Amino acid sequence: MRLSLFYTKTRRSMASQDSINAYLLEKAGFISQVAAGVYAYLPMATRSMQKIEQIIREEMNNIGGSEVIFSALQPKSTWEKSGRWEDKNFRQIVYMDPEADMTFGATHEEPMTIVVKQGVQSYRDLPVILYQFQTKFRKELRAKSGLLRGREFRMKDLYSFHPDEKAHHEFYEEAANAYLKAFKRLGLDAYRVKASGGIFGAELSDEFQVLCQTGEDEVLIDHKTKTGFNKEVEDQLKAIEIKKLERVKTIEVGNIFHLGTKYTDAFDLKYLDASGIRQSVWMGSYGIGISRLLGTLAELNNDEHGLKLPRQIAPFEVVVIDLTDSKTGTKIHDQLEKTGREVLLDDRDEMAGTKLVDADLIGYPIRLVYSSKTAQEGKVEIKERNSGKVTLVDLEDVVKHVEQLLS
């Protein structure tokens, strides 16, 4: 890809922001703020979020999930039937069109249940595991912290339907392990933390939290077991238990909920068991914030020069900067593209300093510079963004060396 054909604009000066992630992602040209808690995702961010989604998609498929796309708009009657319309806490987060009696879906337990009811008759039709990637809308009263707390955000939500409580709990643990695998692949060290069920259910839920000094959540954790408790359920712990845990600041990157038969009973979703008896379907809900993950990764991976996003979610793996009048940079770019690497050639008509500063700000994992100085030695300068290590490599060995660094 030639940068002259790829739209991205970095910013030299930026007003102060209430979070590191918003400041750096906007300065690096990943996002543009529309309003408080609402952002446009520009080409760099779009590429990164697509990579985040693909990693999560693979893990959801591995546990039997089928991907769907549901409508964001939902009729008010749907929420009334489940009883959530009368829940003041739920009503506080929903955007509504009073003329059409429609809402923007803050969550999709009800619509998923309605659709599954159309296809489930007997125990042979279960389990059903559906998930989607969708933009969600919520009346966030305290929209702040960049992508960490927004009114409009990208989310993966999965819903599972099972014949009994035992089958539900078995899948619930399978989903929890899939979450931990996904976060690890994204370069995050996640802790599984017990928390309140909130507006989704009375039973305790599980949150997945990553340590961050600027995080909004406060949790008590056990580093050895990678588990803990959200501060909101601290009153359910004994004093002796609390003493064994460390109180830390974190960012929530995912959550899973036990829903029991609350929604399936509300919509009369039943199935015939092997004896021909009608039984209730057990349900679970599983969410991951995609845009929040991008914000979290930016919050945790940066320095004074800019972003240092993990290679697996960086918009491009390599940037090539040719400071000579030769076509050497183009040749290196083309050779790397043939190997399947995601490489960007900075062919803009800009000063060398601008190109180098932008490379660090955007945080390409590998930066290749071919200059008149390195050309005299027949070499290319290779900089690893994460470590800052700079190496001079023979021109003919560049592709091989980059492959070694990225493998």
Per residue in 151-162, pLDDT (tens digit) is: 999 999 999 999
Please tell me whether residues 336 and 260 are part of one structural domain. Answer: no
Residue 230 in any domain: the answer is yes
Residue 274 in any domain: the answer is yes
86 band by pLDDT with thresholds 50, 70 and 90: confident
pLDDT at 224: 95
- Contact in structure between 183 and 175 (CB atoms under 8 Å): no
pLDDT at 200: 47
Please tell me whether residues 357 and 386 are part of one structural domain. Answer: yes
301 band by pLDDT with thresholds 50, 70 and 90: very high
Please tell me whether residues 294 and 325 are part of one structural domain. Answer: no
Helix (H) or strand (E) holding 192: strand 190-195
Please tell me whether residues 291 and 335 are part of one structural domain. Answer: no
pLDDT at 79: 87
Residue 308 in any domain: the answer is no
Residue 128 in any domain: the answer is yes
Cβ-in-10-Å burial (0-12, 13-18, 19+) of 181 comes to middle
Residue 1 in any domain: the answer is no
Please tell me whether residues 295 and 401 are part of one structural domain. Answer: no
- Give long-range contacts, CB 8 A cutoff, 24+ apart: 28-33: 28/306, 28/307, 28/361, 28/362, 28/363, 29/362, 30/294, 30/298, 30/315, 31/147
CA-nearest of 220, 194, 198 to 207 is 194
Phi, psi of 115 (to 5 degrees): -70, -40
The DSSP bridge partners found for residue 289 are 155
pLDDT at 202: 59
Please tell me whether residues 352 and 204 are part of one structural domain. Answer: no
Please tell me whether residues 128 and 26 are part of one structural domain. Answer: yes
Most confident by average pLDDT, 104-113, 140-149, 162-171, 236-245: 162-171
pLDDT at 356: 97
Q: For the ranges 65-69, 81-85, 208-212, 371-375, which has the lowest average pLDDT? A: 81-85
Percentage of the residues of the chain whose pLDDT score is greater than 70: 99
Out of 255, 281, 303, pick the residue that ends a domain: 303
Average pLDDT over residues 100-107: 87
pLDDT at 14: 82
Out of 303, 335, 356, pick the residue that ends a domain: 303
Please tell me whether residues 288 and 159 are part of one structural domain. Answer: yes
pLDDT at 98: 86
The CATH number of residue 348's host domain is 3.40.50.800
**DSSP per-residue letters across 43-63:** HHHHHHHHHHHHHHHHHHHHT
195 band by pLDDT with thresholds 50, 70 and 90: very high
The CATH number of residue 287's host domain is 3.30.930.10
Residue 211 in any domain: the answer is yes
pLDDT at 138: 86
Residue 331 in any domain: the answer is yes
- pLDDT tens-digit map of 345-390: 999 999 999 999 999 999 999 999 999 999 999 999 999 999 999 9
Please tell me whether residues 298 and 323 are part of one structural domain. Answer: no
Percentage of the residues of the chain whose pLDDT score is greater than 90: 81
pLDDT at 143: 78
- Contact in structure between 251 and 212 (CB atoms under 8 Å): yes
pLDDT at 197 over 70: no
Out of 271, 303, 335, pick the residue that ends a domain: 303
How open is the CA angle 148-151-155, to the nearest 5 degrees? 65
Residue 202 in any domain: the answer is yes
pLDDT at 342: 97
pLDDT at 58: 98
pTM, two decimals, is 0.94
196 band by pLDDT with thresholds 50, 70 and 90: confident
User: How many domains, in total, are found in the chain?
Assistant: 2
Please tell me whether residues 279 and 328 are part of one structural domain. Answer: no
pLDDT at 371: 95
Please tell me whether residues 286 and 331 are part of one structural domain. Answer: no
Please tell me whether residues 259 and 377 are part of one structural domain. Answer: no
Average pLDDT over residues 175-202: 88
For the record, the structure tokens of 333 come out as 């770019």
- pLDDT tens-digit map of 227-276: 999 999 998 889 999 999 999 999 999 999 999 999 999 999 999 999 99
Instruction: Provide the domain limits for residue 383.
Output: 316-406
pLDDT at 142 over 80: no
